[in-house]
Amino acid sequence: MDLPPYATTGQRIWHYGFKVICGLIFFFLIAPIMVIIPLSFNAENFFTFTPGMLAFESDAYSLKHYRDFFTNPDWQQALSNSVKIAPMATILSVSLGTLAAVGLSQDHVPFRRAIMAILISPMIVPLIISAAGMYFFYSRIGLQGTYMGVVLAHAALGIPFVIITVTATLVGFDRSLTRASASLGADPVKTFFRVQMPLILPGVISGGLFAFITSFDEVVVVLFVGSANQQTLPWQMFTGLREQISPTILAVATILVAISIALLATVEILRRRSERLRGMSPG
Amino acid sequence: MTDLATEAGPAGRSARSGSAEGEETGPVLAADGRPLKQSLRRALRAEKLRALALIAPLLIFILVTFIAPIADMLFRSVENEIVSETLPRTTVALEQWDHTSGEMPGDDVLAAFTYDLVAAAERKQHTRLGTRLNYEMTGISSLFRKTGRRVDDFGEVYLDQFVALTPAWEEPATWMSLMAEPGWSAQYEEWLADRAAAEEADRDFETPQPLFEVKDGVADVLPETADAYGEFARIAQVENDDNPAAEEPWAPVYLALYRDLAQATPDSVATLGADAQALLEPARAAVAGFDTVPLSEMFVDAEEDWADPDVWATIQAFAPDYTAGYFLASVDLQKTPDGVSAQPEDQRIYMLLFKRTLFMSLVIMGSCVLLGYPIAYLLSNLPLRTSNLLLILVLLPFWTSLLVRTSAWKVLLQQQGVINDVLVWIGLVADDGRLVMINNQFGTIVAMTHILLPFMILPLYSVMKTIPPSYVRAAKSLGATNWTAFWRVYFPQSVPGIGAGCILVFILSIGYYITPELVGGTTGTFISNRIAYHISSSLNWGLAAALGTILLAVVLILYWAYDKLVGIDNVSLG
């Protein structure tokens, strides 16, 4: 993208103009997320910068919205529900999904395309339709409004991500390793846990992280399948935004942004490690 | 396979080879003495089974937790059993009625409807049915609710006259001896005794009670009475946990008796035995002289609207177990007895919503292309180290919670929000003329473009990374200007990425619910908001299911196109 020394003025203008345009688009992408971080330390119950904040006066900033989040029973209940639901859903989708991904990566799988289409479908179908169908069906079988129902629904939504990431990792898996292990007398279970699993672990973990974030961020399905007892953090934010918009939401949002940064970093590190293990350059 | 088997001939066999003798040697055997072909096939089958066994748990899980709900939704969009379940006699009787006659149906239909309605009211199902039919014709709901309260008086005029004739008609025992199957009576007595004993001993008692049975032969002579009384007795047992032998029948049962006896002959009454004949024959002889009130008068007396033949036509039109009515309603049509017609002007909202959903999704898709293309181009033409760093700026929004991003836009776009503050501060906008940027289409489009932009950039980037820079250089060296080199050489190669990104963004946006709900106001909502409204507020689940089915069909078609274009397996997750 370097400008050649013989570039004309027009080309120069276009070159820098393009960079400015790209800068503005990046600003559009990042600024909305970044702007809520300082706003969450607002000492007032406003959603905009007070004159004091712009003058960097220390008493214009406070942690009161964070204090509210950590003391308000509604938010704490929502947090604990989220923490109870997301890991269970993740465990379910990772264990079943990894097993199936191993099966799908075998040489001879009958109806592979049809099976793949069914397993990926929760990602394709719009959430509102999944939510509607689950609401109808789960109320028929008595799962609507139960913890179990929400966990099962979230596990189903997370499965496509596990399948996609783990099958992608298995593409680079050297099958002769399992044969070597079998020839040395290991049974298939032992081979799986001692040989295959350590090698595909990065894929499994990033699939699990995707499944976790899917459940942790999910609001449409839980709104319909859950009841007041399963009110999760995103649900609480949703009602907060719709009814009485309180600045505590910004504090929660900031905490969630921090969590996403941590998750993004983990996935990125795992991806590079997995590519290094497979002998590919990180890219 | 055969070639392979021949070449892989086991060592133990004589070393004869060549196709000439192949037929004499017979099948090539594996080490265990089986034909090799069979052995290989067996191994292949075992491998397939092992793969399927690994997939099976997840497949079953997805089928139960996800595919079954979707199938349930598809089923609900056409299911309409409530009418024929709640009004079984009426739906049959109405089949013959001509809705173009302009009059109420005749006494046969009205009598059947009376029995159905009194039973439904006892089971408290008439309001549910009223709500269902109210979707098709406004006002039916209150008609059912109000008449349901009065229908157990219908036929009181006959009750009084029967009792005046023979006071025994008022006694529950008279009815029992006339109607009940003796075998059932004995069983029921036994069951009652068992239950009393269990209660005495404080034990759990789970045995279901024997349901009332009508005596043989009664239904031939008194068909409507047997039917109505049977219904009465079973409802008394099941709904109210009463002993029907101690309960006075509903007035409509006397209406049935009157109608039956008007048809009966002395001979037919005689077939029921001497006791019954002694009771029924005087009544039969007297009914001709009874004071009568036409059923239509009773209904119109209860609620005037029953005189409107459209009410009956609506019941008739929605009598079948499956209906296309919800789908017709989803596209602003309605099902009438005369066929399909358009909804009244003021109720046509779904086509508007579908069009708005499509239009706004296209606008969002277009803005994603406009904003995403330069970014993807920049990323794919920068050195790897820089582009990886900038890619984080794309991935961070992708990983950030949807609600965080929506709340950010809510905060930014408000009239007292950051953007308006900045605009006022730099003097572009007067303080009293702050822009309205939220709770309208603009807010939805801006917020959703921001939310879906990473889904455009990532596929575009992965396609652009594979375009060799030498092509553009070659074009330039042949004399192309920068623009021609880009437009004629680079752009056509990036089109698959645009296609993939567009379909992905479009699929995601037409099903979006949360963001339009929070920042869309009334003009920026999508069809999905209407689906949610019908599920949780108006409780018209059938219509919600039909709207969802249409949306699902659109998404699946697009998904199929996506699969043709890029392949499911190439879905990349950043």
Query: Contact B351/B331 with Cβ under 8 angstroms?
Result: yes
Subunit contact A250:B411, Cβ cutoff 8 A: yes
Subunit contact B61:A155, Cβ cutoff 8 A: yes
Q: What does R_g of chain A's alpha carbons equal in angstroms?
A: 24
DSSP A48: S
Query: What pLDDT, on the 0 to 100 scale, is given for residue B568?
Result: 56
Measured at the alpha carbon of residue A125, what is the angle toward residues A208 and B366, in degrees to the nearest 5?
100
How far from B452 is each of A48, A281, B124, CA to CA, in Å?
A: 25, 29, 48
Subunit contact A241:B54, Cβ cutoff 8 A: no
Mutate to test the interface with B, among A29, A127, A151, A167 (most CBs of B within 10 A): A29
The pLDDT tens digits of the residues spanning B429-453 come to: 888 888 888 888 999 999 999 999 9
pLDDT band at B567 (very low <50, low <70, confident <90, very high): low
Mutate to test the interface with B, among A35, A137, A252 (most CBs of B within 10 A): A137
Residues in chain B: 574
Query: What pLDDT, on the 0 to 100 scale, is given for residue B18?
Result: 45
Q: Backbone dihedral region of B320: left (phi > 0), alpha (psi from -120 to 50 degrees) or beta? A: beta
Nearest by CB to residue A210, choosing from B70, B569, B573, is B573
Reference B152, options B11, B235, B251, B48; nearest CA is B251
Query: Contact B72/A136 with Cβ under 8 angstroms?
Result: yes
Query: Contact B249/B232 with Cβ under 8 angstroms?
Result: yes
Chain B CB contacts of A131 under 8 Å are 532
Place of tokens 């029953």: B306
Place of tokens 């379909």: B503
Subunit contact B571:A164, Cβ cutoff 8 A: yes
Query: What pLDDT, on the 0 to 100 scale, is given for residue A208?
Result: 92
How far from A203 is each of A101, A123, B573, CA to CA, in Å?
A: 11, 18, 12
Subunit contact A30:B399, Cβ cutoff 8 A: no
Count Cβ neighbours within 10 Å for each residue of A7-43 and write b for 16 or more, e otherwise: eeeeeeeebeeeeeebeebeebbbebbebbeebbbbb
pLDDT band at B569 (very low <50, low <70, confident <90, very high): low
> Is it the case that residue B573 has pLDDT exceeding 50?
no
Rounded Cα distance between A58 and B427, Å, is 28
Residues in chain A: 283
pLDDT band at B11 (very low <50, low <70, confident <90, very high): very low
Chain A CB contacts of B405 under 8 Å are 32-33
Chain B CB contacts of A92 under 8 Å are 61
Cα dihedral B444/B447/B457/A280 (nearest 10): -130
> Is it the case that residue A273 has pLDDT exceeding 90?
no
Neighbours of A112 (CB within 10 A): 15
Subunit contact A130:B70, Cβ cutoff 8 A: yes
DSSP B296: H
The pLDDT tens digits of the residues spanning B446-479 come to: 999 999 999 999 889 988 988 898 999 999 999 9
Query: What pLDDT, on the 0 to 100 scale, is given for residue B367?
Result: 96
Nearest by CB to residue B573, choosing from A32, A36, A161, is A161
The rounded percent of chain B whose pLDDT value lies above 70 is 94
Reference B112, options B84, B91, B81; nearest CA is B91
Query: What pLDDT, on the 0 to 100 scale, is given for residue B267?
Result: 84
How far from A138 is each of A166, B69, B538, CA to CA, in Å?
A: 29, 8, 19
Mean pLDDT for A230-253 is 87
Mean pLDDT estimate for chain B: 85
Nearest by CB to residue A241, choosing from B406, B453, B571, is B406
All structural domains of chain A with their residue ranges: 1-37, 40-71, 73-277
- Its sign, for the CA torsion B410, B411, B414, B418, is negative
Least confident segment among A179-188, A192-201, B21-30, B242-251: B21-30
| Amino acid identity for residue B464 in this structure | M
Chain B CB contacts of A220 under 8 Å are 513-514
Chain B CB contacts of A128 under 8 Å are 511, 513, 528, 531-532, 548, 551
> Is it the case that residue B81 has pLDDT exceeding 90?
no
- Its sign, for the CA torsion B48, B50, B55, B59, is positive
Mutate to test the interface with A, among B45, B59, B75, B403 (most CBs of A within 10 A): B403
Sequence-ordered alpha helix ranges (H) in B63-171: 68-76, 81-86, 88-94, 107-122, 126-134, 140-150, 156-165
Comparing B308 with A150, which gets the higher pLDDT?
Answer: A150
Name the most confidently modeled range: A91-105, A174-188, B192-206.
A91-105
Rounded Cα distance between B127 and B116, Å, is 13
Chain B CB contacts of A261 under 8 Å are 396, 399
Query: What pLDDT, on the 0 to 100 scale, is given for residue B238?
Result: 85
Chain B CB contacts of A15 under 8 Å are none
DSSP for A158-191 reads: HHHHHHHHHHHHHHT--THHHHHHHHTT--HHHH
Rounded Cα distance between B449 and B369, Å, is 10
Query: What pLDDT, on the 0 to 100 scale, is given for residue B69?
Result: 95
Chain A CB contacts of B541 under 8 Å are 136
The pLDDT tens digits of the residues spanning B86-112 come to: 899 898 888 888 888 878 888 888 889
The pLDDT tens digits of the residues spanning A118-160 come to: 998 998 899 999 999 999 999 999 999 999 999 999 999 999 9
Mutate to test the interface with B, among A1, A128, A210 (most CBs of B within 10 A): A128
pLDDT band at B487 (very low <50, low <70, confident <90, very high): very high
Chain B CB contacts of A106 under 8 Å are 47, 50-51, 54
Nearest by CB to residue A130, choosing from B66, B394, B404, is B66
Nearest by CB to residue B403, choosing from A46, A137, A237, is A237
Neighbours of B426 (CB within 10 A): 8
Subunit contact B535:A224, Cβ cutoff 8 A: yes
How far from B215 is each of B185, B212, B218, B272, CA to CA, in Å?
A: 10, 10, 6, 10
Rounded Cα distance between B210 and B194, Å, is 12
Count Cβ neighbours within 10 Å for each residue of B404-421 and write b for 16 or more, e otherwise: bbbbbbbbbbbeebbbbb
> Domains in chain B, start-ordered, CATH in brackets?
2-76 (no CATH), 85-152+295-323 (no CATH), 156-287 (no CATH), 350-570 (1.10.3720.10)
Chain A CB contacts of B567 under 8 Å are none
Rounded Cα distance between B20 and B163, Å, is 106
Query: Contact A269/B549 with Cβ under 8 angstroms?
Result: no
Chain B CB contacts of A117 under 8 Å are 568
Subunit contact A126:B61, Cβ cutoff 8 A: no
| Amino acid identity for residue B300 in this structure | V
Subunit contact A217:B510, Cβ cutoff 8 A: no
Reference A236, options A248, B478, B120, A225; nearest CA is A248
Name the most confidently modeled range: A147-151, B215-219, B226-230, B381-385.
A147-151
Place of tokens 């056509």: B492
Query: Contact B103/A163 with Cβ under 8 angstroms?
Result: no
Place of tokens 């036929």: B155
Cα dihedral B570/B548/B520/A220 (nearest 10): -70
Strands (E), B440-542: none
> Is it the case that residue A50 has pLDDT exceeding 80?
no
Mean pLDDT for A152-171 is 90
Query: What pLDDT, on the 0 to 100 scale, is given for residue A270?
Result: 82
Subunit contact B61:A156, Cβ cutoff 8 A: yes
Query: What pLDDT, on the 0 to 100 scale, is given for residue A282?
Result: 41
Neighbours of B568 (CB within 10 A): 16
pLDDT band at A11 (very low <50, low <70, confident <90, very high): confident
Tokens of B302: 């209860």
Query: What pLDDT, on the 0 to 100 scale, is given for residue A201?
Result: 87
Chain A CB contacts of B548 under 8 Å are 128-129, 132-133
pLDDT band at B22 (very low <50, low <70, confident <90, very high): very low
DSSP A194: I
ipTM of model: 0.88
φ and ψ at B340, to 5 degrees?
A: -90, 135
The pLDDT tens digits of the residues spanning A174-220 come to: 888 888 998 999 988 898 888 888 888 888 988 898 899 889 989 99
> Is it the case that residue B2 has pLDDT exceeding 80?
no
Rounded Cα distance between A208 and A169, Å, is 13
Mutate to test the interface with A, among B400, B445, B549, B554 (most CBs of A within 10 A): B400
Nearest by CB to residue B416, choosing from A19, A33, A47, is A47
The 3-state DSSP class for residue B421 equals helix
pLDDT band at B173 (very low <50, low <70, confident <90, very high): confident
Least confident segment among A272-276, B5-9, B302-306, B415-419: B5-9
Domain A73-277, classified CATH 1.10.3720.10, yes or no: yes
Least confident segment among B22-36, B147-161, B194-208, B429-443: B22-36
Residues paired with residue B340 on neighbouring β-strands, in sequence order = B335
CA distance, residue A55 to nearest chain B CA (Å): 15
Query: Contact B243/B251 with Cβ under 8 angstroms?
Result: no
Closest residue in chain A to residue B383, using alpha carbons only: A1
Q: Backbone dihedral region of B322: left (phi > 0), alpha (psi from -120 to 50 degrees) or beta? A: beta
Nearest by CB to residue A129, choosing from B407, B418, B552, is B552
Cα dihedral B544/B549/B551/B553 (nearest 10): 180
Subunit contact B528:A128, Cβ cutoff 8 A: yes
Rounded Cα distance between B545 and B535, Å, is 9
- Its sign, for the CA torsion A149, A153, A158, A162, is positive
Closest residue in chain A to residue B412, using alpha carbons only: A32
Query: What pLDDT, on the 0 to 100 scale, is given for residue B261?
Result: 87
